[in-house]
């Protein structure tokens, strides 16, 4: 979710799902240690509980970044060993680390010794030809010996060559059964599943056998699924309606644009809010065509909603006229 789940996206998602654990986009150790730390790691207090997801392969660097994450107030630090992009492979982190379980063990152990907050791992089922249930289970077992007991599993293998990152999200087969078997064989571990989950019912079915469900692109492209899951799983709901979400995010936009944040940096994360409903295309189009015109337009979301509603009203009126003509 690099370049997607930034602080503005997470603030929006928190409104929809107050009880969810949110993860940052993956940040490399080099960026944390040498880059603009506040830009990369800054967040709003409302985002808690919040985990920082790290990419790296040097135990000392990862331990240093874990300490910084703890100092920043993050609730968890997560090591990503599942991302298959070329950029990640060149840096010797992400999915290629599944070929080095001993190194991942050492990285996680160093992080755990450095901080008091939980250290977790996000992984895949395997990479390239290193792909079998036994390989996957042995990898998790090796890392678990570091003391890590929380694993988020993208239930696909990764091809390090031959497939793009997008293809790696769709082409390799999903093996939910492997993840469920891992949980059955290791009940002492907390196992969450990721990959291919697009509906509330899918998530609820998986939660009958596993400890958690992680949503990535489904949460981004159809964010209202978060509000629906919040209602299904927790006593306290999030926002009551999409209109309420628009109102609350408009207030957030006003605060952020006053600080110099361009409205387009925020509005892009709400394009899918009305996905599947009448007027969704008009909502997306209005934001896409107007967000860049006035960087400080805190009324953009309200304007987009009104534009959408006018379109629905016109369409409804046309339908009535047509019906009258038929009669």
Active-site annotation holder among 9, 83, 96, 107: 83
Q: How far apart are alpha carbons 271 and 292 in whole angstroms?
A: 14
State the sign of the Cα–Cα–Cα–Cα dihedral 191, 192, 193, 194: negative
Q: Where are the beta strands (DSSP E) in the chain?
A: 22-23, 27-28, 50-55, 76-81, 119-123, 150-154, 190-194, 212-214
Pairing relation of β-strands 76-81 and 50-55?
A: parallel
Q: Is 83 a catalytic residue?
A: yes
Contact (CB, 8 A) for 118 and 149: no
Residues 162 and 127 sit within 8 Å (Cβ to Cβ):
no
Q: CB under 8 Å to 281, separation ≥6 — which residues?
A: none
Work out the angle between the directed axes of helices 7-16 and 224-233 (0-180°, nearest 10): 40
Strand partners, 192: 152, 212
For the chain, counts of helices (H) and of strands (E): 16, 8
CA gap 176, 279 in Å, rounded: 35
The residues carrying an active-site annotation are: 83
């Amino acid at each position: 979710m690099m370049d997607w789940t930034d602080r503005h996206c997470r603030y929006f998602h928190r409104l929809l799902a107050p009880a969810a654990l949110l993860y940052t986009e993956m940040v490399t150790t080099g960026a944390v240690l040498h880059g603009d730390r506040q830009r990369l790691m800054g967040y709003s207090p409302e985002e808690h509980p919040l985990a920082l997801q790290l990419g790296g392969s040097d135990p000392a660097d990862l331990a240093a970044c874990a300490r910084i994450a703890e100092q920043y107030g993050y609730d968890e630090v997560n090591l990503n060993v599942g991302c298959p992009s070329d950029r990640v492979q060149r840096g010797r982190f992400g999915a290629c680390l599944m070929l080095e379980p001993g190194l991942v063990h050492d990285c996680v152990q160093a992080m755990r010794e450095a901080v008091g907050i939980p250290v977790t791992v996000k992984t895949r089922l395997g990479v390239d030809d290193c792909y079998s249930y036994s390989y996957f289970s042995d990898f998790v077992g090796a890392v678990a010996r570091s003391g890590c007991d929380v694993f988020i599993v993208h239930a696909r293998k990764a091809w390090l060559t031959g497939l793009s990152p997008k293809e790696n999200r769709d082409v390799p087969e999903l093996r939910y059964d492997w993840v469920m078997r891992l949980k059955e064989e290791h009940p002492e571990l907390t196992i969450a599943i990721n990959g291919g989950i697009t509906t509330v019912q899918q998530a609820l079915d998986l939660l009958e056998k596993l400890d958690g469900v992680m949503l990535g692109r489904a949460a981004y492209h159809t964010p209202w699924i978060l509000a629906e899951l919040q209602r299904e799983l927790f006593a306290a709901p999030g926002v009551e309606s999409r209109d309420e979400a628009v109102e609350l995010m408009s207030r957030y936009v006003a605060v952020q644009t006053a600080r110099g944040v361009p409205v387009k940096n925020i509005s892009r994360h709400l394009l899918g809010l009305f996905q599947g409903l009448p007027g969704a295309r008009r909502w997306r189009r209005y934001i896409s065509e107007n967000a860049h015109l006035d960087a400080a337009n805190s009324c953009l979301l309200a304007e987009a909603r009104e534009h959408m509603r006018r379109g629905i009203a016109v369409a409804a009126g046309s339908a009535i006229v047509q019906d009258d003509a038929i009669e």
